[in-house]
Chain A
Amino acid sequence: MKIHVQYFALLREQAQRSQEEVDTRATTPAVLFAELKERHAFSLAPGQLKVAINGEFGAWDQALAAGDTVVFIPPVAGG
């Protein structure tokens, strides 16, 4: 199924893009991240990230549906 992924900060730089359409068999963000970490050589481990699905915080084991937008959130540093 097709999942829309948006990247920010360090992940955006390492993926060399701010978004992409991914055709994947991953059914959860955890599996999807493992796939993308391999593809883009991300330096961050999933334990360091949070995940958002369709603009709201989600869970790593939440079921993904075709057309979902997923964002992996690196450690934040506002302020």
Chain B
Amino acid sequence: MPLAFAFSQQPIDTAAARDELLRDPAAGGYVSFEGWVREFNEGRQVLRLEYEAFEQLALKEGARIVEAALRRFPIRHAHCIHRVGSLDLGELAVWVGVSAEHRGEAFEACRFIIDEVKHRVPIWKKEYYRDGDSGWVNCEHCAAAPRHLHSH
């Protein structure tokens, strides 16, 4: 199996990632989540994004999340791939895939992994806006709006 959590500088090959999960004949179902670069965030028109990661720690924390999902839910396999670098609108930013004997656990584990990745893994997103401005999501307005503090 590939790494439980990985970064990719290149577009994510979802077909290959899916095939890795489906090699197990005990799996009766597969659920995936794809996070895409969205045109509007909090009312501002986004042109592109840059993702940056503290990879040394992010790889460990991402793997711990996938391992936690494997312990917590009766699933067969799970895998998450996150892009880094510059992304355009509509590009795939993050992919999570989970295979299980039954669909219920696959959905739950997939949701768990993406929620924890967004919350805990040291990855940052800079948005470039149509009006020429740019900003680090959850960072630029922290002082004014502490409600953003570590809650995503």
A-side interface residues toward B, CB under 8 Å?
6, 8-10, 12, 43-45, 47-48, 52, 55-57, 71, 73-79
**Footprint of A on B, CB under 8 Å?**
35, 51-54, 56-57, 60-61, 82, 93-94, 114, 117-126, 136-140, 142-143, 146, 148-150, 152
Known pairs A9-B126, A52-B54; A79 contacts B140 (CB<8 A): no
Most interface-central of B56, B60, B117 (chain A CB within 10 A) = B56
* Least Cβ–Cβ distance between B110 and chain A, in angstroms: 13
Q: Contacting A8 at CB < 8 Å: which of B35, B54, B118, B150?
A: B54
- In the complex, the answer to whether B54 meets A73 with C-beta atoms within 8 Å is yes
**How far, in angstroms, from A10 to B143 measured CA to CA in the complex?**
13
A7: nearest residue on chain B (CB-CB)?
Answer: B54
Contact between A71 and B123 (Cβ–Cβ < 8 Å)? no
